[in-house]
Amino acid sequence: MQPSTISPISTTAGLAVHGRDLDALFAAVRAATGELPRATAASAFDNTYQVGMSSLLFVGHFRDAHGGAVVRGILLDGWTPALVGERADLVPPRSFYHDHQGLLYRCALSYLKNIPLALHGHTGVGKTELVRYFAALLGAPVYRMNLHGLSTTDDIVGKLLPVGDGRVGFQDGLVTTAVRKGGLLLLEEMNATGQEVWFALHGLLDGSRALVLVEKDNEVVHQHPWCRIYSTFNPAEYPALYPGTKELSAAYLRRWASVRVGFAAREVERTILVTRFPEMDRGENREILEIMLDVAQVARKLLTDRARAFDFVMSTGLLVAWAELTLLLGPIEAARIAFYDILDQKTKSVFRDQIFSYVTNWSTDQLDGER
């Protein structure tokens, strides 16, 4: 039988505990810290709890090897103003976030163990939002870099630049800045860049945790004790959706822990939408909301089953945009502005004839009519 608590695993960064239920987990935290976790207004949605004045407990609900329920927790200290220093503008603002798949727990675990974490999944499923919300909870600065096909090692590591009087000086790239100063380094679209960028990061991702600045007399920049590394990328098996993406090599991926971020469950998306837009939970908008969720479910099934014939992602982010416009324009005109009018003719026909006609009782003639 799963024990109610286990001896906590402690590191200099925080604490890991688990129990068979939330009460057992809280008891383990209290035994280790003398403090009982307290729920906040957001706890029901993000599975985080306040511990003492400045610590946070990140909770995830999982199954053990025998299928039994287990609740796991990571306790982390928040960043102090002194640690943030003059970088307060890099700390993301707190917003609403609905956790799913234990994603915040996984971010906290990678933070605790100092393991680079790669988040991969379709556009709009909340990969970037996840890291930013995690940073906001901790009060940590985020160094965010969008990689692309023209990114070079100079962009990420740094380069020599004129500084006047015929002299040159080395200017740190954004990655080097994050490694020196500490914070959450977020590398976006990791599989949209070239191998030279991946190779430049190898030393930072392996056991040495350091960058070598060749153009600066081979200076070795060791990872700051409070620097943590996260990345995002889209699935390369959908080349029509994500042109320019590449398959990351197995050797490179082994340097990362990896989490596939899927679409949120229907109930989660409903909560997100009605929290953002309370009017969607009133009157006829309730029915419209359920139809919108039906449309998303069918579109995602088509994406999974017929990726080559239907290469469109109905993401949570797109649902949010559609709902916001629906309150102003109605669902059909809002759909046109939010996503329909940018589709090619083949995808439009699938949406019109196989999704909207199947799911809704709306007049789909309006989708292609004059405004």
**For 283, left (φ over 0), alpha (ψ -120 to 50), or beta?**
left
Note the pLDDT of residue 6. Answer: 36
Q: Which amino acid is at 299?
A: A
Note the pLDDT of residue 308. Answer: 65
Residue 258's pLDDT is 93
- The confidence score (pLDDT) of residue 177 equals 95
Among residues 210, 189, 185, the alpha carbon closest in space to that of 200 is found at 210
CA distance 125 to 130: 9
- Alpha carbon distance 97, 261 (integer Å): 15
Task: Please provide the average confidence, as pLDDT, over all residues in the chain.
Answer: 90
Average pLDDT per run of 10 along the chain, which is 371 residues long?
37 79 95 95 96 95 90 96 96 94 96 96 94 98 93 89 80 94 96 87 90 89 95 85 84 90 95 96 96 95 78 93 96 94 90 89 77 53
- Give residue-wise pLDDT tens across range 13-46: 689 999 999 999 999 999 999 999 999 999 999 9
Identity of residue 297: Q
Contacts 24+ apart (CB under 8 A), 93-96: 93/136, 94/133, 94/136, 94/137, 95/133, 95/136, 96/42, 96/45, 96/272, 96/275, 96/276
Task: Give the pLDDT confidence score for residue 310 in this predicted structure.
Answer: 81
What is the separation of C-alpha 213 from the centre of its chain, rounded to a whole number of angstroms?
30
What one-character DSSP code corresponds to residue 163? E
Q: pLDDT tens digits for 182-234?
A: 999 999 999 888 888 888 898 899 888 999 998 888 899 999 999 999 999 99
- Integer-rounded Cα Rg, in Å, for the chain is 23
pLDDT at 59: 97
Task: Say if domain 118-260 classifies as CATH 3.60.20.10.
Answer: no
Q: Domain residue spans in the chain? A: 1-77, 118-260, 266-367
User: Which H helix or E strand runs over 77?
Assistant: strand 69-77
Q: What pLDDT score was predicted for residue 10?
A: 43
Question: Which spans in 206-278 are helix H?
Answer: 250-253, 266-276
The count of C-alpha atoms lying within 13 angstroms of the C-alpha of 312, restricted to the half-sphere facing its C-beta, is: 25
pTM for the predicted model, two decimal places: 0.91
* Distance from C-alpha of 272 to C-alpha of 267, rounded to nearest angstrom: 9
Whether 262 contacts 335, CB under 8 Å: no
CA distances from 48 to 14, 44, 105 (A): 15, 8, 9
Q: What is the pLDDT of residue 103?
A: 97
